[in-house]
Amino acid sequence: MRVVCPQCGAPIEALTESRFYRCPYCTSSFIVHEGKGLPEYVILHKRDDRHAWSSLEAWLEARRVTGPVDRDVADFMQFPFWYDSAGASDVALVPALEHSFSQISSVTLPAGDLVYLEEKGDYAEPGVPLARAVSGIGHGSGEPSWSLLYLPLYFLRYQVGGIACTAIVSGADGRVFASESPAPTAVSLSLTHLCMMAGYALLLVAEGLSIHGLLFRTLAFAFTTGCLYFAFLLLLKREASS
């Protein structure tokens, strides 16, 4: 079987569909897949579980989830993706391996240097053939240039308030990919609510300064509070239904 080196373009006689086939001319390694030579890349990363958990907790805090995070499991893997470096397809990254985390399909290309994969190291074989992975993906103008790219990913299992959750954290840039996040536990006030509270406080101050009799001042406070209470309640019900 004759293939072309994806790095230097030299014709090479490949005996089998093999990974880490090394070109005798430019010494680059590549994968022979479906009769084609495809380059293999990796974004290098040293495992750091603490950084992954910190990225997840910062992501949760930004979504007002302030409850304690019970850490269950942190798995790390250089996960294989089919990568269209030409950007001619609708999706640049397609998982080359099936995974139980549904968020794997939403992982995007992080910032980082792509380096040629060396023969050393434990990297998973692509379990999803390229033809099946890209079937149904639309193509724009130009021809896609597919390669195999390994991204450093953390697969985290955790609990918040007794609810089990999962998330993927990119080791390259700390981005979090999750299909859903736990319900917010922190209370935040909108600008409308703050304005209402400030207006209510100013109105009470104005009544206190303008009404001198204790009885009339008390009646004015009670009347204002009663009227505004029902107005605020009506506004909150309208917001809840919208």
Question: Rg (Cα) of the chain, in Å, rounded?
Answer: 29
Structure tokens that stand for 50 in this block? 């603490």
Question: Which residues touch 65 (CB under 8 Å, ≥6 apart)?
Answer: 160, 181, 182, 183, 184, 185, 186
- Is residue 149 within 8 A of residue 42, CB to CB? The reply is yes
Q: How far apart are CA 226 and CA 164, in angstroms?
A: 44
Q: How many Cα neighbours within 13 Å face the side chain of 227?
A: 9
Structure tokens that stand for 218 in this block? 């008390």
Measured in whole angstroms, how far is the alpha carbon of residue 95 from the centre of its chain? 15
Closest of 78, 94, 87 to residue 43, by C-alpha:
78
Question: Residue 160 to residues 58, 64, 68, 80, 128: CA-CA distances in angstroms?
Answer: 14, 12, 6, 30, 34
Strand positions, DSSP E, 110-145: 115-116
- pLDDT per position in the chain (242 positions), as tens? 567 776 677 777 665 555 556 677 766 666 666 566 788 889 999 999 999 999 999 999 888 888 789 999 999 999 999 999 888 787 889 999 999 999 999 999 998 888 888 766 678 888 998 889 888 888 767 788 889 999 999 999 999 888 899 999 999 999 999 988 777 664 455 677 677 778 888 888 888 888 888 888 888 888 888 888 777 777 766 765 55
Q: How many Cα neighbours within 13 Å face the side chain of 67?
A: 13
Q: What's 24's DSSP letter?
A: T
Q: What is the pTM of this model?
A: 0.68
